[in-house]
Structure 1
């Protein structure tokens, strides 16, 4: 019975550690959903050159949209006149992070890792966008005025829109993946002893290539990938290898590659994947290089438990929000 108990214990510890930060992330996601409208995104992603990719990455990094949600938005951006480069930059940077996943990264892996992750998403978005633009024809048109329903004024009070998106719409999109990520983290931590891979395997560059091969076809959202990365690091995998997984896992998956093909083109898709993989490996090498001096391993969550009533309250609230998000959406009568 030790293994099931250890798994349940690890699931509880991860949930408790991330609860207040994820709830705060949901709140900030709701705020951003009002401040950065889809119409605003569309109007600023046209044109060529590095500037379009930079603007797309700046918009994409804080937006709480995972790879399943970014595809239709990217398709809409492209349809409304966004350049291939800006679209690729948005596709690379947006699913890697979000205000919610960065808060979880801070809670479980420390502020240095969270900063590295945000910088990696921003830089890889710019590099991917610039690379795609370099192999794309200059046939883009300026984006027309958005007339879609989602771009029209919303008559609901601002606070209500923030809370509905942050604690209803967003959890509905990520709750199942989030729960699977937490359970996967508990299973890995419960079955594999701490520091099991420490030594040659954990720090080997080959491990980063393994994480690359796992991350590219796998579907995992940016928030759900963090507890899995935590479990890998606790088992002895290097922070660099974990970062490779955090970059490629959310940014790509097998189900969306065909859609990307249609959005940005066959040749551009190949350049996009090769560039993103290169950025992930380089980011992994850099974080491993700076790990000893920045104390990244020491910042990783190793809590053995909590006795705080407030922590229990946050955990109960998070479980309630995620559970509600997994319930079937009610359709209006009539």
Structure 2
């Protein structure tokens, strides 16, 4: 029993130390982005109907460090401030799948191929969802609600360096820290409970289609933020899971 606990702690620490430099750098970049990319700027670019606003919404959403819960109030704010339904849905789909911090974590644990393709898949899925909604949405929007001048003045008064560091070192870690720890613990437990090559032995049917379906069924109801899902995916791949199925889980 004690030996198993030591093994879990060892795997937990090994994964944490491997991803920490990339995670900290991602936090820093996200903090800088929180200063220079305001919500007012985002809302101003997503107000028009059509493909271009949907594409921009998906591209804006990919680097945003928001989880599936955190993205909902932001999306509602975008919609209330004039963003089209298509752009709102595009942002809602693409944002929680990845983020700047998540991209660096993916690179550290899963390599450059996953780091390149995970944001591309997130962007394309958001683009597809937003386009479908836009095609079927025939209702006209009411006039958008503008951000008040007093709010903009208050935002400008804040020290940009302090604001970036506060977001990078306190706000963002507080948002995803608990979920990250849960993800690391799950990954460490998987590493000792699941036999090596388990997935390649039992779920290799149809070139991994069965594994992809299983990962989709597991991933949809599972509340794990994008950053926390990465160590879990890495542990599953180490146990023989098809990389394509791991990508399905990450999405």
Q: For residues 32-43 of structure 1, what are the structure 2 equivalents within 5 Å? A: 32-43=33-44
CA distance in 2, matches of 1:226, 1:207: 17
Q: How far apart are 1:199 and its partner, in Å?
A: 4.0
Distance change in 2, residues 1:148/1:134 (3 Å): farther
Q: For residues 262-281 of structure 1, what are the structure 2 equivalents within 5 Å? A: none
Q: How far apart are 1:33 and its partner, in Å?
A: 0.6
1:170 counterpart residue number: 172
Q: Which runs of 5+ in 1 are unaligned?
A: 248-334
User: Is the Cα contact below 8 Å between 2:199 and 2:211 reproduced in 1?
Assistant: no
1:291 counterpart residue number: none
1:332 counterpart residue number: none
Q: How far apart are 1:134 and its partner, in Å?
A: 1.1
User: Is the Cα contact below 8 Å between 1:38 and 1:150 reproduced in 2?
Assistant: no
Q: How far apart are 1:152 and its partner, in Å?
A: 4.7
Q: TM-score, normalised by structure 1?
A: 0.71
Structure 1 residue 218 corresponds to structure 2 residue 219: no
CA RMSD of aligned residues (A): 1.6
1:99 counterpart residue number: 100
User: Is the Cα contact below 8 Å between 2:7 and 2:192 reproduced in 1?
Assistant: yes
User: Is the Cα contact below 8 Å between 1:185 and 1:227 reproduced in 2?
Assistant: yes
Q: For residues 236-275 of structure 1, what are the structure 2 equivalents within 5 Å? A: 236-247=240-251
User: Is the Cα contact below 8 Å between 1:89 and 1:126 reproduced in 2?
Assistant: yes
Q: How far apart are 1:231 and its partner, in Å?
A: 0.9
CA distance in 2, matches of 1:60, 1:170: 16
Structure 1 residue 181 corresponds to structure 2 residue 187: no
* Partner SS state of residue 129, structure 1: helix
CA distance in 1, matches of 2:20, 2:83: 37
User: Is the Cα contact below 8 Å between 1:46 and 1:142 reproduced in 2?
Assistant: no
Deviation string 1:24-83 (CA, Å, 9 cap, x unpaired) is 000001011111111111111112111111000111111111111101111111111111
Q: Which runs of 5+ in 2 are unaligned?
A: none
Q: How far apart are 1:156 and its partner, in Å?
A: 2.1
Structure 1 residue 233 corresponds to structure 2 residue 237: yes
1:278 counterpart residue number: none
